[in-house]
Structure 1
Amino acid sequence: MSTEHLSPAYRIHTQRLIVRCWHPGDALLLSTAIAQSLEHLKVWLPWARAEPKDLHQRVDWLRQCRGEFDLDQNFNYGIFNLGETQVLGAVGLHPGESDDALEIGYWIHAHHVNQGLATEAAAALTKVAFEVNQVSRVQIDCDATNFKSAAVPRKLGFVHEATLRQRVENHEGRKQDSMIWSLFAEDYLTSKAAAVVVEVFDAMGQKIL
């Protein structure tokens, strides 16, 4: 991996997806995806219990996401179909416990689960985290009962380090166990994520991977 500092990845092309930084104009597409997936999302994601939000609230949130992205504070991405006419989910690279680590989170539209899209998006962001952001470690946390979510890091070569007891809330507000998965830079090059073919572009649209 190059030690040269690269611009954050604003846009990523995978085999089936466009994964890119959110902008306020995505508000309607995102609201539609959340509305169509709400019952599915509420089971696993605490923020979904505050839905639905009106369009103005959605725009405000997307503006905040874009601001944090531009300031290198937090990297929230939308997952789109190749024509960018539909939101298929979301994925993010979030601040970790230390400056040399990032955490990946993801959700997929209810109509598009069981198609490997979460794995495809998470693999792309794992590659970006190590080769663009140049971190030492990537982590994925998930509810211990969310077997489909846990399958993503397992497929990509992450190691299940621990299951922390009563760390996350379920849809009923009760505490659930949380699984911690991690991948270190020294193990990345032999992982499935390293072999993923992607095109990565910076804020100016210049290809950086």
Structure 2
Amino acid sequence: MLRCWDPRDAPLLADAIDSSLDHLRPWMPWAHDEPRSLDERIGLLRGFRGRFDLGEDFVYGIFSRDEREAVGGSGLHTRAGEGALEIGYWIRASAVGRGYAREATAALARVAIRVCGVDRVEIRVDPANEASLRIPRALGFAEEATLRRRLPGREGEARGDAVVFALFADELDRTPVSSAPLEAFDALGRSIPL
């Protein structure tokens, strides 16, 4: 289940992050600000929800099918520029290797192109993060370049390099993204055709 975070998800987010800090910290600069209090997490999730509803940024939680566990997070981020969205993802340590990142990335890439109407979907990955590099490669994204000093570094550290992957709207039907099983719904629960 992939959906926008809700403030009521704060305990699930806390469990996912707090149990995975050693796993997340090498790749996610935000993980160095963890752990947070429950009230801080509620505020964070309210911000995610608000920006989502305003169409400014789309941060999603990745949940087990019954939504009793948060298995990670993802998003369609507007920082890639006009006509593009960037996908980011992280998976809790206990759920790595089960295909959640690949499934979420395929779903969001298709939604970005078919629902949001962008021409370009981008993914940026630390070149040392082998597991994360496999996701866009498996989904048919083109590896465009390695950009130096583009990923945010931790406080006091230099910015990191980023391998940039892209998928364009006219390439979608020739990739595994187009055939990934997916059902999408609007805020009222109505089916969205993809």
Give the TM-score range, shorter chain. Answer: over 0.9
TM, length-normalised to structure 2: 0.95
Per the alignment, residue 172 of structure 2 pairs with 188
Secondary structure in 1 matching 2:145: strand
Per the alignment, residue 156 of structure 1 pairs with 139
Contact 2:80 2:122 in 1 (8 A): no
Deviations 1:19-68 (A, max 9, x none): 00111000001001100011111010100000010000000010011000
Contact 1:139 1:181 in 2 (8 A): yes
Kindly report the root-mean-square deviation, in angstroms, between the aligned alpha carbons of the 2 structures: 1.3
Gaps of 5+ in 1: 1-17
Counterpart Cα distance in 2 of 1:154 and 1:115: 17
Matched, 1:197 2:169: no
| Offset at residue 98 of structure 1 (A) | 2.5
Aligned counterpart in structure 1 of residue 80 of structure 2, from 87, 97, 104:
97
Contact 1:158 1:182 in 2 (8 A): yes
Runs of 4+ in structure 1 deviating by more than 3 angstroms, as ranges, are 169-172
Counterpart Cα distance in 1 of 2:159 and 2:173: 36
User: Relative contact order (alpha carbons < 8 A, sep ≥ 6): 1 or 2 greater?
Assistant: 1
Per the alignment, residue 70 of structure 2 pairs with 87
Secondary structure in 1 matching 2:80: coil
Counterpart residue type for residue 103 of structure 1: E
| Offset at residue 155 of structure 1 (A) | 0.5
Gaps of 5+ in 2: none
Per the alignment, residue 36 of structure 1 pairs with 19
Per the alignment, residue 150 of structure 2 pairs with 167
Contact 2:125 2:162 in 1 (8 A): yes
Matched, 1:48 2:31: yes
Contact 2:59 2:73 in 1 (8 A): yes
Counterpart residue type for residue 144 of structure 1: P
Compared CA separation, residues 99 and 170, structure 1 to 2 (3 A) = closer
Counterpart Cα distance in 2 of 1:66 and 1:145: 32
Counterpart Cα distance in 1 of 2:17 and 2:116: 29
Counterpart Cα distance in 1 of 2:152 and 2:41: 24
Contact 2:61 2:72 in 1 (8 A): yes
| Offset at residue 147 of structure 1 (A) | 1.1
